[in-house]
């Protein structure tokens, strides 16, 4: 049951004024007009932010919101929230137990941005650390850099006192990798075009058989928040594409792609096909659209249209020439107005929020409608 927050919990961080706009419950119409009133404090995340608790009393968005309500720094609150998902082995798209790369090694990516402090930090291809969000925040706070990768990121984590583990696989993630490996080994020396198709077919088969959650194939959690003072921060963390080429880095740790925050405007982050997002730097595009006055929903749709227009390779298109992948954005402005948008619609395309009224899972607005069965 979602925890409801009393106004007493907001003492010390300022009273929240105005009306929360942009909430679209399942089946409701999306907001058409952007509110100019100041909204309430809010946390927005991918749907897994309202699902996993790792055995504790709260999920990601609830934990982050409660900490914001107590007056904690917004980014610190978000990091505490996403750690619940990173540490939960039931979510195979993030942190500990995330689906590994093609060699069976879990490599993690994360980035964070602090709107008021105008700081950012990220890590990529990080091995042996269950909570890359913590390391990303440390990069922002303790270095003059924005991104550390591979062994260097791991050494930095070790230097600041974080335990390095030999293997982040769980029995489940290792078993799924072994299943994938058995199915794909005979395919590794095919023609490149045929190999891509064959490998994706194996993934689709494992999803259809219920072995892999379709949302965990690309994975990721994005979580953004704004407090009563209008301070905006965000974080994205992931185990990346399932069974990726070792060293592959997607959009999640890249500023402007997997996450972008402007303290004067708002935040946007993503889950889904990272390569498509990287080509458009779509999170930056969304925030820039909001800077020019667009509502979160309209800004998110602009980014999806650009990504759709950029998708021209046949292997990435449906039979009628539209993108054959999904991509979602979670958008928040500093008034608390928000939106979740997806390339395609189905009942799984959702996002999570937490406000004073508690946590909710809402339907994303889709650009292309329901995906054809033949695609």
The Cα-based distances of 9 to 41, 62, 66, 140, 320 in angstroms read 12, 13, 8, 29, 52
Chain position carrying tokens 């790792």: 54
Annotated catalytic residue 271: no
Compute how many other C-beta atoms are within 10 angstroms of the C-beta atom of residue 90.
15
- The length of the chain in residues reads 375
Chain position carrying tokens 């449906």: 318
DSSP state, residue 357: T
Beta strand extents in the chain (DSSP E only):
42-46, 108-114, 119-126, 147-149, 221-226, 232-238, 259-262, 266-272, 327-333, 338-342, 350-355, 358-363, 365-366
Beta bridge partners of 266: 262, 333
- The answer to whether 364 touches 352, Cβ cutoff 8 Å, is no
Opening angle at CA 257, ends 252 and 259, nearest 5: 65
Chain position carrying tokens 């033949």: 374
Written as six digits, the tokens of 172 are 């489940």
d(CA 3, CA 166): 37
d(CA 49, CA 77): 13
Strands 266-272 and 221-226: unpaired
Strands 108-114 and 232-238: antiparallel
Active-site residue (options: 143, 184, 197, 220):
220
3-class state of residue 353 by DSSP: strand
d(CA 48, CA 64): 14
Compute how many other C-beta atoms are within 10 angstroms of the C-beta atom of residue 30.
16
Catalytic positions are 220
């Amino acid at each position: 049951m979602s925890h409801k927050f009393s106004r007493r919990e907001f003492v010390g961080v300022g009273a929240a004024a105005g009306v929360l706009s942009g909430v679209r419950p399942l089946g409701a119409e999306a907001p058409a007009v952007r509110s100019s009133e100041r909204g309430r404090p809010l946390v927005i995340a991918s749907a897994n932010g309202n699902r996993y608790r790792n055995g504790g009393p709260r999920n990601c968005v609830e934990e982050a919101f409660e900490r914001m309500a107590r007056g904690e720094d917004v980014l610190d609150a978000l990091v505490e929230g996403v750690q619940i998902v990173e540490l939960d082995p039931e979510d195979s798209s993030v942190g500990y137990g995330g689906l590994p790369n093609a060699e069976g090694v879990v490599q993690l990516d994360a980035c964070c941005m602090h709107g008021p402090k105008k700081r950012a930090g990220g890590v990529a291809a990080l091995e042996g650390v269950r909570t890359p969000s913590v390391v990303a925040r440390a990069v922002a706070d303790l270095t003059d850099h924005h991104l550390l990768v591979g062994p260097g990121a791991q050494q930095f984590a070790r230097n600041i006192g974080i335990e390095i583990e030999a293997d982040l696989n769980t029995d489940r993630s290792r078993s799924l990798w072994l299943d994938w490996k058995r199915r794909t080994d005979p395919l590794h020396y095919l023609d490149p075009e045929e190999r891509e198709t064959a490998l994706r077919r194996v993934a689709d088969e494992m999803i259809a058989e219920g072995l892999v959650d379709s949302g965990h194939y690309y994975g990721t959690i994005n979580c953004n928040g704004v407090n009563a003072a209008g301070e905006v921060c965000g974080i994205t963390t992931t185990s990346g594409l399932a069974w990726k080429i070792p060293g592959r880095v997607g959009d999640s740790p890249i500023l402007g792609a997997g996450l972008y925050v402007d303290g004067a405007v708002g935040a946007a982050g993503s889950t889904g096909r990272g390569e498509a997002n990287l080509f458009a730097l779509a999170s930056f595009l969304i925030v820039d659209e909001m800077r020019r006055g667009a509502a979160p929903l309209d800004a998110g749709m602009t980014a999806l249209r650009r990504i759709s227009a950029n998708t021209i390779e046949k292997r990435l298109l449906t039979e009628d020439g539209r993108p054959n992948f999904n991509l979602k954005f979670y958008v928040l402005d500093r008034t608390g107005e928000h939106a979740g948008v997806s390339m395609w619609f189905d009942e799984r395309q959702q996002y999570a929020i937490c406000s004073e009224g508690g946590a909710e899972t809402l339907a994303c607005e889709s650009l292309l409608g329901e995906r054809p069965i033949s695609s």
